[in-house]
Structure 1
Amino acid sequence: MLRYIVVRIAFGAVLLAVVCTFGFLLVFSGTERVALNILGQSASEADIAALNAKLGIDRPLLVQYQDWVGDAVRGDLGNAWTTTGTVTEILGRRLPVTLSIVVTAAFINALVSALLGITAAVRGGIADRLIQIVSVVGFSIPNFWLGLLLVVVFSLTLGWLPATGHVPITTSTLGWAVSVTLPVTALVLSGIASVSQQVRGAMIDALGQDWVRTLRARGVPEGSICYRHALRNALPAALTVLSVQFVALLGGAAVVEQIFAIPGLGELTVRSAIAGDVPVLMGVIVAMIIVVITVNTLIDLINAWANPKVRLT
């Protein structure tokens, strides 16, 4: 197991280096007009050259990359170009907001999908068909459309929940829960379909195995067979889909945060892209890939715990 953990961590480190390299080449290779965008169209050539020199983007791209890597390994992602503060400080304020929404949505997605998938596999019949219909409908509704619909119904019409804004959980737990209810709902409904269907298929396969019939013949309670034995065998397949869904939730959060005016990474990405704040965009890439690698590594470890055969791959 220890060897498996070391291999997973090493693989994550290599993936982080590769993605950061390609991300740097992508965002820093298009900085020709950054100074002009910051200074305005009336800026002189001398002012543009002076700002390029100040930002360090007049140097060869390889030199910029070497300097960035040297600072990044020490935890310094540079300074923002269009606002005050360092990139690390900005990410420190924005990342917890996005993670609080995405992690909550992923947890609810996993819980609801497991319940729906197990119910569909065990009961079958009308319950199975109804759950599949509801899942497909939820999957077919775009996040942004669902978010707007939730705002119209629950904020503008009923007045039950706030349409915009975010309350930090450190300020008020109840206020935070109220402020993230609609964004989390918009993210969860579209992700339930794929995970619940994967749980359903895996549970049907597990419940059809010979060892399940043996357990029933020995008088093991059906609940124990379903939740203690079959669910553990179905867990790896469900977790694999859930890890993909987590990445999708991060992408969906960028749209949802715009709709609900939430000061997270999604809103920061859009604003920085428009303003041409390249260091902040690079910082977002680093933060996102670290989160994705961490989540995928944890899911791989859970899979290895649930299914020892995974450790051999």
Structure 2
Amino acid sequence: MLSFILRRLLSGVVLVVTISVIAFLLLYAGGGDIARRLLGEDASPATVAQKASELGLDQPLAVQFGTWASGVFQGDFGTSWFTSQPVSDAILSRLAVTLSLVLGATVLIAVVSVALGVLAATRRGWIDGLVQVVSLLGTAIPAFLIALGLVIVFAINLGWFKPTGFVQLTDSFSGWLSSITLPVIALSLGGIAGVSQQIRGSMLDALRQDYVRTLQSRGLNRRTVVMQHVLRNAAGPGLAVLGVHFVGLLGGAVIIEQIFAIPGMGQVAVTATSQGDIPLVMGLVIATAILVVILNLFVDLAQGWLNPKVRLS
């Protein structure tokens, strides 16, 4: 198991390094005259040259990357060019907000998808048809339209929730739960559609296996066989799809945070990208890559626990 974890960690480190190199090259090499963009078109050439020197933009690209990377290894992601706030502080102050949405949506997707997938595979009939229709709608309707519909119905018309804003968990648990309920539902419906279909298919394949009939012939009731044996064998593909959806949730959170005016990483990403705040954008890229690596590690560990053969692959 230890070697399995070390291999996954090593592949994760390689992935983060590769992403950081590609992102740095795209942002800096393709950014044009960055100092000119920061100062505006009316700035004199001397002022632009001084600004480029201050930011280290007059150095070769390899030297710039080496300077940035050495700072990252020491925990220094640089400083925002527009707010002069340390990049790490700007990200950490918003990270908990985004994780509230993404992790909440991930848990909701996992719970609801397992329930729908198991019901569709074991009951069949109209329940299976209903799950198919719900999954189709969840896949076809964009998350931002679902979010707008939830706001209109449950926040504006019924008044059950506030349409915008976010309450910190440390301030009020009930307020925090109320502020993330609609965003989490909007963010998770597409994932529920995809993961529930995967679990349904895997359950149907597992139910056709010979060991199911063998266990039932030994006197085990169908519920025990399904929950303790079939579901465990069918959970692997569902976990893999859930890991893929996690990446999509991070991207979808950008839009959802804008709709609900939630001060998360999505707002920072939109602002930093529109302003051309490259150090902050690089910090966001690395933070996102690290989150994806950590989630994939947990998925791989769960896969290894469900199926020991995975640890040997």
The bucket for the TM-score relative to the shorter chain is over 0.9
User: What does the per-residue CA deviation read over 1:217-274, in whole Å, with 9 as the maximum and x for residues that have no partner?
Assistant: 1111222111111111011111000000111111110111111111111111110011
Gaps of 5+ in 1: none
**2:37 maps to what in 1?**
37
Q: Which moved more, 1:237-246 or 1:154-163?
A: 154-163
> Does the aligned pair in 2 maintain the 1:31–1:57 contact within 8 Å?
no
Indicate whether 1:144 and 2:144 are aligned. Answer: yes
Q: Gaps (5+ residues) in structure 2? A: none
Q: Give SS of 1:137's match.
A: helix
Kindly provide the amino acid, as one letter, of the partner of residue 166 in structure 2. Answer: H
Q: How far did 1:284 drift?
A: 0.3
When the two chains are superposed, the root-mean-square deviation of aligned CA atoms in Å is: 1.1
How far apart, in 1, do the equivalents of 2:284 and 2:248 lie? 16
Once residues 77 and 165 of structure 1 are traced to their aligned partners in structure 2, the CA distance between those partners, rounded to angstroms, is 29
Which residue of 2 is the match for residue 107 of structure 1?
Answer: 107
| Structure 2 CA distance for aligned equivalents of residues 176 and 29 of structure 1 | 42
Count the aligned residue pairs: 313
Residue type of the alignment partner of 1:200: R
- Per-residue deviation, 1:144: 1.2
The reply to whether residue 243 of structure 1 matches residue 238 of structure 2 is: no
SS of residue matched to 1:261: coil
Contact 1:37/1:275 (8 A) holds in 2: no
The 5 A counterparts of 1:39-118 are: 39-118=39-118
Mapped partners of 2:175, 2:33: distance in 1: 42
1:197 maps to 2:191? no
- Post-superposition shift, 1:191? 1.2
Provide the rounded CA distance (Å) in 2 between the counterparts of 1:272 and 1:183: 22
- The offset of 1:102, in angstroms, is 0.2
Task: Provide TM-score, normalisation by structure 1.
Answer: 0.97
Shift of 1:96: 1.2
Q: Distance in 2 between matches of 1:151 and 1:262?
A: 14
Offset from partner CA, 1:204-225 (integer Å, 9 cap, x none) = 1111111110111111122211
Amino acid at match of 2:186: A
Give SS of 1:75's match. Answer: coil
Structure-to-structure mapping, 1:159-170, within 5 angstroms:
159-170=159-170
Q: Which residue is 1:11 aligned to?
A: 11
Question: Sequence identity of aligned pairs in percent?
Answer: 47
Corresponding residue number in structure 2 for 1:27: 27
- Contact 1:102–1:253 (Cα < 8 Å) also in 2: yes
Mapped contact 1:106–1:246 kept (Cα < 8 A):
yes
* 1:206 alignment counterpart: 206
**2:17 and 2:36 mapped to 1: Cα distance?**
31
State the 1:155 CA deviation: 1.9
CA distance in 2, matches of 1:161, 1:36: 45
Distance 2:112 2:34 in 1: 46
Q: Which amino acid aligns with 2:34?
A: V
CA distance in 2, matches of 1:158, 1:294: 39
